[in-house]
Amino acid sequence: MNAIVRNAPGLTDVLAKLASGVAAPPLALQDAITLYGDDGVMRAMAMKAISAGRAAFWSSATYQSQRALCLCGNLNSGMSFADAMADAYRHCSGAEKLRALDTLVPLNRKAAEALSLAYAGLGTWRDEHELLMRRVRRRA
């Protein structure tokens, strides 16, 4: 937990705004929280990414999948997909990397575009609209 806070400058400001009710989460984020559950740190990092105009993600992963949560956190902090995947899944197979991408829930168009390109880089095609729908329904 401390590592995440140290690596995300300004995170305490976002957390303070959330706690005071000043910064209400956007609808896409509320949808993802409703479907996949709430996580205060991930929520703050997603809010920071959204407010900075960057790609923002949520994760369907639970705490049993720390790599997947690390990937989501790295992406929300502004790390490129290539660097985020290398950091969290350096020695993993392509199949494991695809499963990791399956846990990501894009919260905005930039995130859906980046996720679609990441799938393409692993040889799989995913439509941006399909990816955006992850925030309102679980995969079948």
The model scores a pTM over 0.85: no
Torsion, Cα of 65, 49, 3, 18 (10° steps): -100
Percent helix, percent strand, percent coil in the chain, to nearest 5: 60, 5, 35
Task: Tell me the pLDDT tens digit for each residue of 94-104.
Answer: 899 999 999 99
pLDDT tens across 30-85, in order?
A: 888 888 888 788 889 999 999 999 999 999 888 778 899 999 999 999 999 999 99
104-137 pLDDT, tens digit per residue, is 999 999 999 999 999 999 999 998 988 988 887 7
Alpha-carbon span 13 to 16, nearest angstrom: 5
* Percent of the chain's residues with pLDDT above 70: 80
